[in-house]
Amino acid sequence: MEKGLRADARRNRDLIVAAAQELFLEQGVDVPLEEVARRAGVGVGTLYRRFPDRDALLRAVGEESLRRLVDLAETAWREEPDAWHALCRFLRGSVALRLGVLPAKLEPHLHQRMRVGADLHEMRQRVITAVLRMIERAQADGALRTDIGPGDIAVLMTLNVYTPPALPGEPAMARVVEIMLNGLRADRESPLPGAPLDADDLRRYTAVQHPPAQ
């Protein structure tokens, strides 16, 4: 994305974004930038040179995350044999991306920019398109229960559970996701509360909404 950087500068830039991503997940977006620099193995000077302020860094992390999500959605659709399996793969991947944690911290930065920047807005569209396609098709195939709407899937993408920091969270998470997928299957239904969250809900749940202050 950034170009014209010297090789080492480029490498450091990426290290910084990766470190920031980790730390934002672990400790929130208020981590001292010095700590980000330390984790990335660079000096603060380097960080500030590349990202003039905290926002620039937040934006970079957000974009990276969205980029991965687009890739996940489109790859799943392309490589899986049917819509149901594509959806499963997509949901497993989304949960692994920790969308439930990152966006919560990146609010309102990411969403704000999504509205503004054409590039990001387009990525968002691609994800939405892919999700709608998977759902429609999976339901037509009789694999996905029909009282599930796109908004439901959007919410499930952000699924998260607490696991103690010292324990590996993945095994537990993986089981939860499969339980959830099992609950989505068409052949076994029990009533869900309320009405299916529909495509409009999906948009609402994905859209900007500046918290009143702060």
Phi, psi angles (nearest 5°) of residue 144? -100, 135
| Residue 185 interacts with which of DNA, a copy of itself, none, CB < 5 to 8 Å by class | a copy of itself
Q: Does 175 bind DNA (CB under 7 A)?
A: no
- For residue 174, the minimal CB distance to a copy of itself (Å) is 5
Q: Does 43 bind DNA (CB under 7 A)?
A: yes
Stretch 44-63 residues interacting with DNA (CB under 7 A):
44-46, 48-50, 53-54
The long-range contacts involving 45-50, CB below 8 angstroms and separated by at least 24 positions, are 46/12, 46/16, 47/16, 50/9, 50/12, 50/13, 50/16
Distance CA 99, CA 154 (A): 10
Interface residues with a copy of itself (CB under 8 A) are: 28, 30, 99-101, 103-104, 107, 148, 151-152, 155-156, 158-167, 171-172, 174-176, 178-185, 187-194, 197, 204-205, 207, 209-211
Distance CA 22, CA 16 (A): 10
Instruction: Please tell me what DSSP assigns to residue 177.
Output: H
| Residue 180 interacts with which of a copy of itself, DNA, none, CB < 5 to 8 Å by class | a copy of itself
Distance CA 38, CA 123 (A): 31
Q: Does 8 bind DNA (CB under 7 A)?
A: yes
Q: Which residues bind DNA (CB under 7 A)?
A: 5-9, 12, 30, 32-34, 41-46, 48-50, 53-54
